[in-house]
Amino acid sequence: MTDLICDGTSCPGVVGNTFVYLDDNHLSRTYVASMSSVFGERLMTATGWKAS
């Protein structure tokens, strides 16, 4: 899922008007919320889980 955060050459701290990182190790709540559907789809695919 790194490609949702980094573009291959850099990992921007801001996308649009949204901060990507909360600190050195955590994504911001706002960024994750804005990407939640994509993160969710990727997580389900990676784990084989099914939405309930």
Number of domains in the chain: 1
Query: Which domain covers residue 39, as residue numbers?
Result: 2-46
In a domain? residue 52: no
Taking a C-beta distance cutoff of 8 angstroms, is the pair 34, 28 a contact? no
Q: Beta strand 18-19 with 14-15: parallel, antiparallel or unpaired?
A: antiparallel
Helices (H), 1-52: 29-34, 36-47
In a domain? residue 51: no
In a domain? residue 18: yes
pLDDT digit string (tens) for the chain, length 52 residues? 788 899 889 999 999 999 999 999 999 999 999 999 998 999 999 999 887 7
> How many other C-beta atoms can be found within 10 angstroms of the C-beta atom of residue 51?
6
**pLDDT given at position 14:** 95
Residues in contact with 45: Cβ distance below 8 Å, sequence separation at least 6, in sequence order: none
